[in-house]
C-alpha cells in the first residue's frame, strides 16, 4: 500500500522533471542529437559491413576526397572515413560512459563517506582527493595509460582515476548540506543507522546532482579519450575518433589538406560533447531550484 | 579594469612584435644558418654509446673518421688517414694520418688520438656499446709516431676501410672516468668534424657551429641547427612557414602534397634502411638466460613460416608506404647492390594465405569456435604486435598484418607504445611480434652483427641485438665474412647468412623505404647528395649533405625578408584588431553583467 503511494509520487515527480526539462529547448535539442548518435552507434553492425574496417579488404584509394561511393572520402589505407566515423562512435561513447560510471561511482562513494563520517576518515580521504585534484589530470592519465597493459580498459581506468575528485568534492558538499537538515536529525533520533541514513535519505537527495554531474562528465571523458588517442596513447585495435585524428596527423593529412579525414572526427567529438553539455546544463537547471527561472 | 589592462597588454605585445624584426633586418652580419627539422629520438652526444639514427648523424658532423665513404658511390675514401697499406698476410694495417690537422680547441690531431680511441673501445665494455663490432678481432692498435697508426688483427678483417668509429680527442677523453655516464656536453665540444657542437637541449634543438680547423671543405654557411618537432606534420608546417630549411622522413602523403608547393623542392632517394617484423622466439641474454614473455607457440618454425607466408610485402609497399619503398627480402637493403640478397623460387616463402592456413593445419593447430586457432594446450593463439606510435607507417602496416594473420586464424592485438617503451620492450623481450627497422652501412658488417649470439643483451638489457638471434650457422658465416678479404667470396658469405636468416623467419623484412625529404629552394640552392646520383641529403653515410649545402645568393634572399615583414604586419593587424575586439566585447559583457 505504502509502496504504491511512493511509486505514484515518484512517477509524478519524474513527470514534473520531464516537463521542466522539455521546457529547456537547448537540453531537448541535445537529447535528440544524443539519441540519434547512440542509435547510429548501436546500429552500426546492422547498417554497415564491419569487414570494411579490415584494411586488407579496403577497396578505396589512399586519401581520396569524398565522392566515388565514399561519402566522406577514404583514409590512408583506402577505408571509408564514414565507416570509421560510425564505428568510432561506439568506442568513444563506450569509453565515455564507462569512465564516467566508474568515476562518478568512486566520487559519490568517497564524497558521501567523507561528509557522513567526518573526523579522521574525512581528513584522510580529503587529502587523497586533494592530492588527485592538484595532479595535472592529462599527464596522470597519459602516465597511467602507458603503465597499464594497453587497451580500452586501461584508458577507461586512466580517465576515471583522474576525473573522480571533482565529483567527490561536489557530493561531499551536497551531503553536508543534506545532513544538516532537521529530517536527518529526526531519523537519527528515531534510531536510524548509518546505512539507513545514507541509503534512504542522503543518497536520494544527492543523486539528482550526481546525475547532472554525470552527463557533464561523459563529455569530458570523451574529450580525454580523444586526447589520449590523439597523443598516440589510445588502443590501435579499435577505431575511435581520437585514433582517427592521430592517424590523420601521422600520415600527414594536414599537409595533404585531407580535410575529409580530419574534420569529421573532430566535428563528431565536438557535437557529442556539446550535446552532453546541453543535456547536463538543462538537467542541472531543472534539479537545482536556484538556477531555475521562476 | 583588470580586463582592460590585459587588452592594452595585447596591443603592447603587438607593437613589440612589430618593432623587433625591423631592428633585426638592419643587422646585415646575421649568421647564415641551416635549420633541419627532425622528429626522431636524440638521446646522447657521447659517440661511444650513440647508436640512435639521429645521434650518429650528429656524430658524423662532429667527428672525423679514420676513413670515410665517398660521396660519389660509398667507396672507401680518405678521412683522417690520407693513405694506408696492408701487409701481405692481411693482418697488419698501417694508416698514415695527414699532418697539420687540429682539434677544434687548437690541439694537434695525431695518430695517438686514433690509437687511444680504438684501445678504449677494445678495453672498456661500455665504450664498445655503439661500435664494438669493428674491433672484436683487433689484436693491438699502436701509434709508433704522430703520423702512423698500426692495427694488427687476429684474423683478416674485411671492414678495415669501413671502420665507422668517430675518433675522439685523447686529451679530453682520457680524463673521463666513466664513459657510460659522460654526457660529452662541455661546450664547445672538442671535435674534428666540419661542425662543432655548441648546444644540445634534449627534445628541442641541437646547435653546431662551422669548425674553422676542419681539414676538408669548409661549409658555405655559419651554423647548423637541428630543431625538434613532435610530429612530421608539424615539421612540414615549420618548413612551409620557413622556420626550418630541410625536413627529412616525410610520409608518402606529405611527399606528394609538397611536390606542388612553391619555394619547396622535394628529394627522393633509395633508402639504406630495412623495416622488418620481428618474431620473438628465442629471447635470451648473452649468458643464455631466458628473458621476456613471448608466446611459446612461436618456437614452432611452422608457426613462424605461416606468419611469413601471411605477409604480402608488395601490398604493404603499395598501401602502407604509398609505393615509395622497395619490397623487402634480405636483411641488407637493395640500395647496397652487391651485398643484397633475395630468395630464388625454391627458397621464397611466398605470400599465400591458403598455404599459410595449410601450414598451420598440417602442424596440428586447429581452429577454435571463434575462428582463432588453438595452441597445443588448447589456448587460442593471440599475439601482441608492438609498434611505435610515433612512426607513421607502422600503424598502417600493423593493421594489414593483423588482417592477414586474422584470416589464417592467428589473433593479433596491436600495442602502440612510445618509442622509449618500444626500445625497452625490445631489450627485455616483451613482445611477440614487433615492427622494427635498422639502417645499414655500405659495408654490411654492422647490419649483420645485430644477428649474432655475442650481441644479445646482458642482464641489464644492454646489447646491440635486433631480435635475440643466436644461431651457430649464422655466427659461423658472420665470422667467415668478416675475415674474408676476397670480395667475391665475402659476398657469397654475406648472402648465405641472409638466406639462413630468411629461412628462420626471425626478422621478416617488409620494405626498404625511400628517403623522402624536402627543402626550401628559395634559400638553399643545392646540397651534397650521397650517392651523388639520386642520393639523399640527410641520413647519409657521410656528412656531405650538410657540408656542401649552398645557400642561394643574398639578392634572392631579400624576397624572403619582404615576405616575413608582410607576414608580421598581417599578424600585428590581426592581433591589434583582436585586441580591440576583445576590449569592446569585454566592456559590453561587463555592462551586461552590471545589475
Percentage of chain B with pLDDT > 70? Answer: 88
Across B513-530, average pLDDT: 93
Gap from B33 CA to chain A (nearest CA, Å) = 25
Determine the Cα–Cα distance for residues A7 and B190; give it in Å rounded to an integer: 85
- The predicted structure's pLDDT at residue A145: 80
- The predicted structure's pLDDT at residue B91: 92
B11 pLDDT higher than 60: no
Nearest-Cα residue of chain B relative to residue A152: B415
Q: Domains along chain B?
A: 33-270+516-553 (3.40.190.10), 273-513 (3.10.105.10)
Gap from B412 CA to chain A (nearest CA, Å) = 9
Instruction: Quick: pLDDT tens for B245-263.
Output: 999 989 888 999 999 899 9
Out of B232, B315, B390, closest to residue A232 by CB: B390
What are the average pLDDT values for consecutive 10-residue runs of chain A, which has 294 residues? 78 85 88 94 90 85 84 88 93 92 93 91 93 86 81 88 90 92 91 90 87 88 90 84 90 88 94 92 80 57
Question: Which numeric CATH code is attached to A24-47+74-293?
Answer: 1.10.3720.10
Q: Helices in chain A by DSSP H: which ranges?
A: 2-23, 25-47, 81-117, 119-134, 137-147, 152-179, 182-189, 194-196, 203-230, 241-251, 259-287
Maximum Cα–Cα distance across chain A: 75
Across B365-380, average pLDDT: 91
Q: Tell which of B403, B408, B411, B517 to mutate to test the A interface (max A CBs under 10 Å).
A: B403
Contacts by B78-83 with C-beta closer than 8 Å and gap 24+? B80/B109, B80/B114, B80/B167, B80/B192, B80/B215, B81/B149
Out of A146, A151, A251, closest to residue B253 by CB: A251
Across B379-404, average pLDDT: 91
Residue at grid coordinates 640552392: B525
Mean pLDDT, chain B, rounded, equals 86
Chain B contact set for A55 (CB, 8 A):
319, 396, 399-400, 403
- Element (DSSP H or E) covering residue B93: strand B92-97
For B522, phi then psi, to 5°, come to -80, -10
B94 pLDDT higher than 60: yes
Nearest-Cα residue of chain A relative to residue B238: A255
Gap from B312 CA to chain A (nearest CA, Å) = 10
Packing angle, helices A25-47 and A81-117, rounded to 10? 130
Chain A contact set for B416 (CB, 8 A):
150, 232-236
Chain A contact set for B256 (CB, 8 A):
256
Instruction: Quick: pLDDT tens for B151-163.
Output: 999 988 888 998 9
Specify the higher pLDDT residue, B586 or A83. A83
Determine the Cα–Cα distance for residues B84 and A256; give it in Å rounded to an integer: 51
Chain B contact set for A62 (CB, 8 A):
253, 319, 322
Out of A151, A232, A256, closest to residue B253 by CB: A256
B84 pLDDT higher than 90: yes
Q: Tell which of A63, A253, A255 to mutate to test the B interface (max B CBs under 10 Å).
A: A255
Q: Tell which of A50, A55, A63, A245 to mutate to test the B interface (max B CBs under 10 Å).
A: A55
Contacts by B143-146 with C-beta closer than 8 Å and gap 24+? B143/B110, B143/B111, B143/B112, B143/B114, B143/B115, B144/B111, B145/B111, B146/B97, B146/B108, B146/B110, B146/B111, B146/B112
ipTM entry: 0.83
Q: Tell which of B395, B404, B421 to mutate to test the A interface (max A CBs under 10 Å).
A: B395
- The predicted structure's pLDDT at residue B568: 57
Query: What letter would DSSP give residue A199?
Result: I
Gap from B236 CA to chain A (nearest CA, Å) = 7
- B257 touches A at CB < 8 Å: yes
B37 pLDDT higher than 90: yes
Gap from B546 CA to chain A (nearest CA, Å) = 25
Determine the Cα–Cα distance for residues B234 and B78; give it in Å rounded to an integer: 39
- The predicted structure's pLDDT at residue B564: 53
Answer for the pair A239, A229: CB distance below 8 angstroms, yes or no: no
- B320 touches A at CB < 8 Å: yes
What is the Cβ-side half-sphere exposure of residue B442, based on CA atoms within 13 angstroms? Answer: 21
Nearest-Cα residue of chain A relative to residue B407: A56
Could you write out the DSSP letters of every residue in B281-328?
Answer: S--B-TT--B-S---GGGGSHHHHHHHHHT--HHHHHHHTSTT-EEE-
Determine the Cα–Cα distance for residues B423 and B278; give it in Å rounded to an integer: 13
- The predicted structure's pLDDT at residue B25: 44
Query: How many of the other CB atoms lie within 10 Å of CB of B87?
Result: 11
Return the SS3 of B35.
strand
Partnered with residue A3 across adjacent β-strands are: none
Out of B392, B396, B421, closest to residue A146 by CB: B421
- The predicted structure's pLDDT at residue B567: 55
Answer for the pair B38, B189: CB distance below 8 angstroms, yes or no: no
Query: What letter would DSSP give residue B87?
Result: -
- The predicted structure's pLDDT at residue B74: 86
Maximum Cα–Cα distance across chain B: 101
Query: How many of the other CB atoms lie within 10 Å of CB of A105?
Result: 15
For B:399-458, CB contacts with A below 8 A are 399-400, 402-404, 406-407, 413-418, 421
CB within 8 Å: A251 and B258 = no
- The predicted structure's pLDDT at residue B560: 47
Query: How many of the other CB atoms lie within 10 Å of CB of B502?
Result: 22
Strands B433-439 and B223-228: unpaired
Strands B411-417 and B382-388: parallel
Per-residue cell: B415: 600495442
Return the SS3 of B201.
strand
Work out how many CB contacts closer than 8 A connect A with B.
Answer: 96
Chain B contact set for A83 (CB, 8 A):
none
Nearest-Cα residue of chain B relative to residue A253: B253
CB within 8 Å: A251 and B403 = no
Gap from B393 CA to chain A (nearest CA, Å) = 7
Domains of chain A, residue spans: 24-47+74-293
Across B465-490, average pLDDT: 92
What are the residues whose beta carbons fall under 8 Å from the beta carbon of B189, sequence distance 6 or more? B45, B62, B104, B196, B197, B198
- How confident is residue B563, by pLDDT bands cut at 50, 70 and 90? low
- The predicted structure's pLDDT at residue A291: 65
CB within 8 Å: A250 and B395 = yes
B7 pLDDT higher than 80: no
Instruction: Quick: pLDDT tens for B148-194.
Output: 999 999 988 888 998 989 999 999 999 999 988 899 999 999 999 99
State the pTM of this model.
0.80
Partnered with residue B85 across adjacent β-strands are: B94
A195-223 burial, b at 16+ Cβ within 10 Å, e below that, comes to eebbeebbbebbebbbebbbbbbbbbbbb
Amino acid at each position: 500500500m505504502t509502496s504504491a503511494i511512493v511509486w505514484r509520487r515518484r512517477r509524478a515527480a519524474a513527470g514534473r522533471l520531464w516537463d521542466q526539462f522539455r521546457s529547456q529547448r537547448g537540453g531537448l535539442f541535445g537529447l535528440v542529437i544524443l539519441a540519434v548518435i547512440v542509435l547510429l552507434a548501436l546500429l552500426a553492425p546492422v547498417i554497415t559491413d564491419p569487414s570494411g574496417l579490415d584494411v586488407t579488404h579496403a577497396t578505396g584509394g589512399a586519401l581520396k576526397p569524398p565522392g566515388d561511393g565514399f561519402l566522406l572520402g577514404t583514409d590512408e589505407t583506402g577505408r571509408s572515413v564514414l565507416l570509421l566515423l560510425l564505428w568510432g562512435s561506439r568506442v568513444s561513447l563506450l569509453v565515455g560512459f564507462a569512465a564516467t560510471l566508474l568515476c562518478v561511482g568512486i566520487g559519490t562513494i568517497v564524497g558521501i563517506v567523507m561528509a557522513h563520517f567526518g573526523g579522521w576518515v574525512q581528513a584522510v580521504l580529503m587529502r587523497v582527493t586533494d592530492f588527485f585534484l592538484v595532479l595535472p589530470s592529462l599527464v596522470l592519465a597519459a602516465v597511467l595509460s602507458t603503465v597499464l597493459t594497453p587497451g580500452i580498459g586501461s584508458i577507461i581506468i586512466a580517465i576515471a582515476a583522474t576525473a573522480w575528485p571533482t565529483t567527490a568534492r561536489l557530493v561531499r558538499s551536497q551531503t553536508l548540506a543534506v545532513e544538516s537538515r532537521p529530517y536527518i536529525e529526526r531519523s537519527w533520533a528515531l534510531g536510524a543507522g548509518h546505512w539507513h541514513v545514507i541509503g534512504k535519505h542522503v543518497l536520494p537527495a544527492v543523486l539528482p546532482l550526481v546525475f547532472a554531474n554525470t552527463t557533464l562528465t561523459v563529455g569530458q571523458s570523451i574529450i580525454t579519450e580523444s586526447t589520449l588517442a590523439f597523443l598516440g596513447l589510445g588502443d590501435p585495435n579499435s577505431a575511435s575518433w581520437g585514433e582517427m585524428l592521430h592517424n590523420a596527423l601521422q600520415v600527414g593529412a594536414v599537409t595533404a589538406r585531407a580535410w575529409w579525414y580530419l574534420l569529421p572526427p573532430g566535428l563528431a567529438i565536438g557535437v557529442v560533447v556539446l550535446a552532453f553539455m546541453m543535456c547536463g546544463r538543462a538537467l542541472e537547471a531543472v534539479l537545482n531550484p536556484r538556477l531555475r527561472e521562476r | 579594469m583588470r580586463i582592460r589592462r590585459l587588452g592594452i597588454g595585447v596591443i603592447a605585445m603587438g607593437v613589440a612584435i612589430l618593432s623587433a624584426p625591423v631592428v633585426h633586418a638592419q643587422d646585415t652580419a646575421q649568421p647564415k644558418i641551416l635549420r633541419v627539422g627532425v622528429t626522431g629520438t636524440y638521446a646522447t652526444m657521447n659517440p661511444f654509446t650513440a647508436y640512435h639514427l639521429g645521434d650518429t648523424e650528429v656524430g658524423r658532423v662532429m667527428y672525423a673518421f679514420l676513413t670515410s665513404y665517398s660521396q660519389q658511390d660509398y667507396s672507401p675514401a680518405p678521412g683522417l688517414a690520407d693513405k694506408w697499406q696492408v701487409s701481405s698476410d692481411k693482418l697488419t694495417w698501417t694508416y698514415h694520418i695527414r699532418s697539420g690537422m687540429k682539434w677544434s680547441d687548437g690541439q694537434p690531431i695525431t695518430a695517438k688520438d686514433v690509437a687511444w680511441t680504438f684501445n678504449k673501445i677494445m678495453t672498456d665494455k661500455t665504450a664498445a656499446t655503439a661500435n664494438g663490432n669493428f674491433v672484436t678481432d683487433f689484436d693491438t692498435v699502436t701509434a709508433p709516431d704522430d703520423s702512423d697508426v698500426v692495427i694488427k688483427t687476429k684474423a683478416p678483417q674485411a671492414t678495415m676501410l669501413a671502420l665507422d668509429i668517430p675518433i675522439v680527442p685523447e686529451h679530453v677523453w682520457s680524463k673521463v672516468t666513466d664513459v657510460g655516464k659522460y654526457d660529452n656536453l662541455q661546450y664547445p665540444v672538442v671535435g674534428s668534424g666540419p661542425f662543432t657542437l655548441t648546444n644540445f637541449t634534449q627534445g628541442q634543438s641541437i646547435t653546431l657551429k662551422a669548425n674553422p680547423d676542419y681539414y676538408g671543405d669548409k661549409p658555405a654557411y655559419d651554423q647548423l641547427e637541428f630543431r625538434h618537432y613532435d610530429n612530421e606534420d608539424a615539421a612540414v608546417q615549420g618548413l612551409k612557414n620557413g622556420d626550418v630549411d630541410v625536413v627529412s622522413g616525410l610520409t608518402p602523403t606529405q611527399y606528394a602534397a609538397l611536390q606542388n608547393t612553391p619555394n619547396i623542392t622535394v628529394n627522393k632517394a633509395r633508402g639504406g634502411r630495412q623495416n622488418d617484423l620481428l618474431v620473438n622466439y628465442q629471447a635470451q641474454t648473452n649468458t643464455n638466460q631466458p628473458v621476456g614473455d613471448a608466446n611459446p607457440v612461436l618456437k614452432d618454425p611452422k608457426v613462424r613460416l605461416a606468419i611469413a607466408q601471411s605477409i604480402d610485402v608488395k601490398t604493404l609497399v603499395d598501401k602502407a608506404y604509398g609505393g615509395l619503398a622497395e619490397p623487402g627480402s634480405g636483411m641488407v637493403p637493395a640500395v647496397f647492390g652487391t651485398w643484397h640478397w633475395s630468395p630464388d623460387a625454391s627458397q621464397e616463402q611466398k605470400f599465400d594465405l591458403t598455404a599459410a592456413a595449410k601450414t598451420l593445419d598440417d602442424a596440428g593447430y586447429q581452429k577454435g569456435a571463434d575462428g582463432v586457432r588453438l595452441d597445443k594446450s588448447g589456448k587460442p593463439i593471440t599475439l601482441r604486435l608492438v609498434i611505435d606510435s610515433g612512426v607513421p607507417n607502422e600503424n598502417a602496416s600493423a593493421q594489414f598484418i593483423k588482417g592477414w594473420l586474422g584470416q589464417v586464424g592467428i589473433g593479433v592485438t596491436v600495442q602502440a607504445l612510445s618509442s622509449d617503451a618500444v626500445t625497452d620492450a625490445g631489450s627485455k623481450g616483451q613482445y611477440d611480434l614487433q615492427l622494427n627497422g635498422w639502417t645499414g652501412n655500405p659495408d654490411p658488417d654492422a647490419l649483420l652483427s645485430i644477428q649474432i649470439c655475442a650481441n644479445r643483451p646482458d642482464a641489464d638489457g644492454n646489447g646491440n641485438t635486433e631480435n635475440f638471434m643466436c644461431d651457430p650457422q649464422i655466427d659461423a658465416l658472420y665470422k667467415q665474412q668478416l675475415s674474408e678479404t676476397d670480395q667475391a667470396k665475402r659476398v657469397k658469405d654475406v648472402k648465405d647468412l641472409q638466406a639462413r636468416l630468411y629461412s628462420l623467419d626471425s626478422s621478416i623484412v617488409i620494405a626498404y623505404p625511400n628517403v623522402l625529404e624536402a627543402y626550401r629552394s628559395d634559400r638553399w640552392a643545392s646540397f651534397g647528395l650521397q650517392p651523388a646520383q639520386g642520393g639523399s641529403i640527410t641520413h647519409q653515410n657521410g656528412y656531405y649533405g650538410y657540408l656542401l649545402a649552398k645557400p642561394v645568393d643574398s639578392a634572392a634572399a631579400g624576397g624572403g625578408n619582404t615576405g616575413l615583414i608582410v607576414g608580421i604586419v598581417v599578424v600585428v593587424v590581426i592581433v591589434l584588431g583582436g585586441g580591440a575586439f576583445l576590449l569592446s566585447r569585454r566592456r559590453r559583457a561587463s555592462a551586461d553583467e552590471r545589475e
